[in-house]
A and B are shown apart, each in its own frame.
Chain A
Amino acid sequence: MQSIIRGLAYVVGDAIDTDQIIPAEHLVYSLKRPEERRMYGRFAMSGVPAVDQGLPFGNRPFTDPDRYESRYTLIVAGRNFGCGSSREHAPFALAEAGAQVVIAESYARIFYRNTIDGGFVIPFESNEKLNDQIRTGDDLELDTQMGQLTNHTIGQAWLLKPLGDVAAILKAGNVFEYARQAGLIPAR
């Protein structure tokens, strides 16, 4: 886990479900083959209705048309981020687009689990509602060890909730490495 993550904020609302994160019609692409997997970066967050894309402005797609990578590194969301289906394609798509962190007030549990077990993005929980204080494009810096988020654009900082016992899996890299460390599967 990288200790300092700095980049631009992408802000969305409450209950961003997995169909908004990656619409179901795109789930046909392979997550392995390079020419197909980049489609996940291209269509990440494309299911969010246009007016809600990149708050508070709207009409700011996460990934620009015909690009495969997003310019935004830190996603800031409200409650219940990742609700809906169990598709691991969702955190995969965010990571494929280049996102490293999500900071939400709360998560749906399968999405949360998938981000950690697959080692895609780091899911931090905020102590307060931040998606009305941070604006899309703000310059954010996250200290993942301290759990401190700084918004350089407005000169404000917040402490996020500790990661808790899932930190062990994040530290191991993914659930397989964690299981190897626990002796559940043989070391490579």
Chain B
Amino acid sequence: MGMTITEKILANHSGRTRVAPGESLWVDVDILMTHDVCGPPTVDIFKREFGEDTRVWDPDKLVILPDHYIFTQNHHANRNVQLLREFAAEQALPHYYDVGSPRYKGVCHVALAEEGFNRPGSILIGTDSHTCTSGAFGLFSTGVGNTDAALIMGTGKIWLRVPETMRFIFEGELPPYLMAKDLILAVIGDITCDGATYRAMEFDGKAVYALSMQERMTLTNMAIEAGGKNGVIAPDATTIDYVRARTDAAFESVFSDVDARYFSEHRYDVSTLEPVVAKPHRPDNRASVVEVAGTRLDRAYVGSCTGGKLEDFQAAADILKGQEVVIDTYIVPATTEISQSLHTSSIDGESLWSIFENAGCKMGQASCAACLGGPPDTFGRMQGSEVVISTTNRNFPGRMGSKQASVYLASPLTVAASALTGRITDPRGVLV
């Protein structure tokens, strides 16, 4: 009996030749990531348990990316960044990306990819549920709380239960009006918000390998919205090219065996799928765009780790070019690198940045911004009973800052098409 990629990586990191779902193991962590919300309490627990003068287990394996509450006047939020700054200095951490410095990156999951920390075959743990994003690079990644992270900080180890794996096979050719966001919203709609709880979600099939790394990250990013422990895509030439352009670090690609055992298998022909949304207030509350077309909107939002990557903006700009939005439309690049690319990437000679500005969009700075609400002065945050269409990943009550607001999740194409009309709009009618 063979093993899945997830089982193999866990075996490789626990000194075992094979492992089976259900077993609990102590595994070695290759990278630990934390940010400004969970970093300071993690450091508190680390010091409480290991002593004030302790050193982290391996400074080269700890990555700290402040990203959540950055551009705010909130005193406590700013204090938390200062605490990280002091900790990074005290421990001489090489991978701290300070706010206000040229090193500042923005949203952690996208930054991890850009900075070359996502390496096939490795184990990456983060104090953020969307750490599953990194699995797009053929590695095991999952989110944990402060306590688990503090234990890793001191020992480099975590206990993990080997998950069963659900396999999602996408075949066929992706039509131009669909994006990875439509695929993953379709999956979550099918299996629901707890359909993958405790399990790995492995994405496979020709249509997956035809996707860019950015689009693959959109798939694995939302594994957690189905309750998944990790999302994973086996590495291929696209993966290796991306990683090699970003790091010289050694890595070893791992693949599922042909006779690996899966909990379940789910097949999709992507050429037959439609643009979809997740209606308020759950990511599994799927409807086709056709079903909800015409729903009146107050806002559109393009941003976050799942919907604020360069290709998300290219898709949105394709639709917004030479047009004007009729509702408040927020553009928030995930990272500073993407923010710069908005100036250097263009469509028909016009930069994406200027396309958005000319369309009347409000341009934000690289960070999580309104994806998770945040302090009241957060860029784009909901303040009342707004109805918003957003490329983010969660629409639970209050997620974007106001319990009264209603959030529809959709692809950047659908969000941009809707921004032009102020109503939920099918991108098929707008794309030429």
Tell me whether B151 and A113 are in contact (CB under 8 A).
no
Q: Which residues of A contact B37 (CB under 8 A)?
A: 27-28, 87
B375 interface contact, C-beta 8 A:
yes
A37–B147 alpha-carbon span in the complex (Å): 16
B235 interface contact, C-beta 8 A:
no
Please give me the residue from chain A that is nearest to B24 by CB atom: A165
Q: State which residues 77-115 of A face B: CB under 8 Å.
A: 79-80, 83-89, 91, 106-110, 113-114
A19–B144 alpha-carbon span in the complex (Å): 16
Q: Which residues of A contact B373 (CB under 8 A)?
A: 19, 23-25
Tell me whether B145 and A87 are in contact (CB under 8 A).
yes
Tell me whether A80 and B194 are in contact (CB under 8 A).
yes
Q: How many residues of B contact A (CB 8 A)?
A: 53
A66–B346 alpha-carbon span in the complex (Å): 53
Binding stretch for chain A, among B153-161, B265-273, B306-314, B421-429: B153-161
A20 interface contact, C-beta 8 A:
yes
* A92 CB to nearest B CB, Å: 8
A109–B374 alpha-carbon span in the complex (Å): 24
A179-B128 contact given A31-B44, A80-B193, A106-B194, CB 8 Å threshold: no
Tell me whether B143 and A79 are in contact (CB under 8 A).
no
A154–B253 alpha-carbon span in the complex (Å): 59
Tell me whether A113 and B145 are in contact (CB under 8 A).
yes
Tell me whether A84 and B151 are in contact (CB under 8 A).
no
Q: How many A-B residue pairs have CB under 8 A?
A: 142
* A98 CB to nearest B CB, Å: 20
Q: Which of B69, B128, B151, B398 contacts A176 (CB 8 A)?
A: B151
A84-B197 contact given A25-B376, A176-B151, CB 8 Å threshold: no
Q: Which of A23, A31, A108, A185 contacts B41 (CB 8 A)?
A: A31
A88-B41 contact given A47-B403, A80-B193, A113-B144, CB 8 Å threshold: yes
Q: Which residues of A contact B24 (CB under 8 A)?
A: 165
Please give me the residue from chain B that is nearest to A81 by CB atom: B194
Q: Which of A80, A88, A179, A185 contacts B146 (CB 8 A)?
A: A88
B390 interface contact, C-beta 8 A:
no
A49 interface contact, C-beta 8 A:
yes
A117-B198 contact given A15-B193, A19-B396, A24-B374, CB 8 Å threshold: no
* B195 CB to nearest A CB, Å: 10
A89–B145 alpha-carbon span in the complex (Å): 8
A35–B126 alpha-carbon span in the complex (Å): 28
Please give me the residue from chain A that is nearest to B373 by CB atom: A24
Please give me the residue from chain A that is nearest to B378 by CB atom: A25
Tell me whether B143 and A29 are in contact (CB under 8 A).
no
Please give me the residue from chain B that is nearest to A49 by CB atom: B397
Binding stretch for chain A, among B72-80, B165-173, B240-248: B72-80
A175 interface contact, C-beta 8 A:
yes
Tell me whether A118 and B69 are in contact (CB under 8 A).
no
Tell me whether B194 and A108 are in contact (CB under 8 A).
yes
* B152 CB to nearest A CB, Å: 11
B216 interface contact, C-beta 8 A:
no
Please give me the residue from chain B that is nearest to A177 by CB atom: B49
Tell me whether B403 and A110 are in contact (CB under 8 A).
no
Q: Which residues of A contact B397 (CB under 8 A)?
A: 19-20, 47-49
Tell me whether B38 and A175 are in contact (CB under 8 A).
no
Tell me whether A49 and B74 are in contact (CB under 8 A).
no
Tell me whether B128 and A25 are in contact (CB under 8 A).
no
Q: Which of B74, B142, B145, B151 contacts A179 (CB 8 A)?
A: B151
B251 interface contact, C-beta 8 A:
no
A89-B147 contact given A15-B282, A25-B376, CB 8 Å threshold: no
Tell me whether B143 and A110 are in contact (CB under 8 A).
yes
Q: Which of A19, A36, A118, A174 has the most CB of B within 10 A?
A: A19
* B28 CB to nearest A CB, Å: 12
A17 interface contact, C-beta 8 A:
yes
Q: Which residues of A contact B146 (CB under 8 A)?
A: 31, 88, 118
Tell me whether B147 and A114 are in contact (CB under 8 A).
yes
* A179 CB to nearest B CB, Å: 6
A30 interface contact, C-beta 8 A:
yes
B133 interface contact, C-beta 8 A:
no
Q: State which residues 115-132 of B face A: CB under 8 Å.
A: 126-129, 131
* A110 CB to nearest B CB, Å: 6
A23-B375 contact given A36-B76, A176-B151, CB 8 Å threshold: no
* B21 CB to nearest A CB, Å: 14
B227 interface contact, C-beta 8 A:
yes
Q: State which residues 12-54 of A face B: CB under 8 Å.
A: 15, 17, 19-20, 23-25, 27-32, 36, 47-49
Report which A residues bind B (CB closer than 8 A).
Answer: 15, 17, 19-20, 23-25, 27-32, 36, 47-49, 79-80, 83-89, 91, 106-110, 113-114, 117-118, 165, 174-176, 179, 182, 184-185
> Could you list 18 examples of A-B contacts with CB < 8 Å?
A15-B193, A15-B194, A17-B396, A19-B399, A20-B397, A24-B373, A28-B77, A86-B129, A89-B41, A107-B197, A108-B197, A109-B227, A109-B229, A114-B144, A117-B145, A117-B147, A179-B155, A184-B157
Q: A24-B399, A86-B145 are in contact. List 17 more A-B contacts (CB 8 A).
A: A19-B399, A20-B396, A25-B401, A28-B76, A28-B77, A28-B79, A49-B397, A85-B129, A86-B126, A86-B144, A110-B129, A118-B145, A165-B24, A179-B155, A179-B157, A184-B26, A185-B154
